[in-house]
Amino acid sequence: MADTKSNKAVLITGGSRGIGRAIAIHAAKASYDIIFSYRTNLDAATSLYDELHALGAKAHGVQADVSTEAGVIRLFQFADEATGRIDSLVNNAGNVAPSSRVDSFSAARVNDLLALNVLGPILCCREAVKRMSTLYGGRGGNIVNISSIAASLGSPGEYVDYAATKAAIDTLTKGLAKEVANEGIRVNAVRPGIIDTDLHANSGDRKRPFKLQSLIPMQKVGTVDDIAQAVLWLLSDEASYITGSLLDVSGGR
């Protein structure tokens, strides 16, 4: 029977910094219990934990590398023990590699990106569906995958491999949405444009967002709050007839 007394719980991968952190804060303000994962940055995770508690939220952070199956399983076991329920999953953790042409890619670089940006989200979806689907006695749920507008643009000369991993996320979103539509689960994706986060330092230029501002039709870089608001809306009942959708939040790009 559904427990109507407890808050809904959202699991956010890579919640400690950037877009994931903003999603966690917006979710806390919307009265969700929060489970978030991080990879290595304990200071950032601790400061988010403190911020969520100051907002009055029940929050749980865990170190779990979601580019590995063992990390994904550990994350969901932690969530089971921490909250006993997972109503929503936000597949947010992801990364880019240094800007480069395809003819310079190493197999190791591409494998690392595939593990974090594709394998991890697919395995997180597997674990979420096992807990949410009415087929398994679950109460339904919601999945939002963080893709990228790069999936459509292709990111030539920067990171075509990253763009390809996000195209895989778009296809995952559409296919899984149809697979579980009649099992109480909605699956959607948000496709951010250029957002001001530390991610860009990993491509080799932390100032990249502002250097590319003129390419954005709205002529402004997006904020983490722009993305978090779209995610929270997709998770809400206001979006209850929406599944399999890719929502571009990119200033028109």
Binding site for ligand NAP (CB under 6 A): 13-14, 16-20, 37-41, 44, 65-67, 92-95, 116, 146, 148, 192, 194-195, 197-199
In whole angstroms, what is the distance from residue 43 CA to residue 110 CA?
29
Record the tokens describing residue 84, joined without a space: 């006993």
Record the tokens describing residue 155, joined without a space: 């990111």
Under 8 Å between Cβ of 141 and 184: yes
Write the CB contacts of 238 (distance below 8 Å, at least 6 apart in sequence): none
In whole angstroms, what is the distance from residue 1 CA to residue 23 CA?
29
Q: Evaluate the CA torsion angle 82, 83, 84, 89 in order and state its sign.
A: negative
CB of 5 to ligand NAP, least distance (A): 31
CB of 74 to ligand NAP, least distance (A): 11
Under 8 Å between Cβ of 169 and 189: yes
Sheet with 9-12: list strands edge to edge.
Answer: 59-63, 33-38, 9-12, 88-91, 141-146, 185-192, 246-249
Nearer to ligand NAP, 66 or 177 (CB): 66
CB of 113 to ligand NAP, least distance (A): 10
Nearer to ligand NAP, 16 or 173 (CB): 16
CB of 2 to ligand NAP, least distance (A): 30
Q: Is 32 a catalytic residue?
A: no
CB of 71 to ligand NAP, least distance (A): 6
Nearer to ligand NAP, 14 or 138 (CB): 14
Closest CA to 183 of 143, 144, 146, 145: 143
Nearer to ligand NAP, 38 or 49 (CB): 38
Q: Of 32, 49, 162, 241, which is the active-site residue?
A: 162
Nearer to ligand NAP, 41 or 99 (CB): 41
Catalytic residues: 162
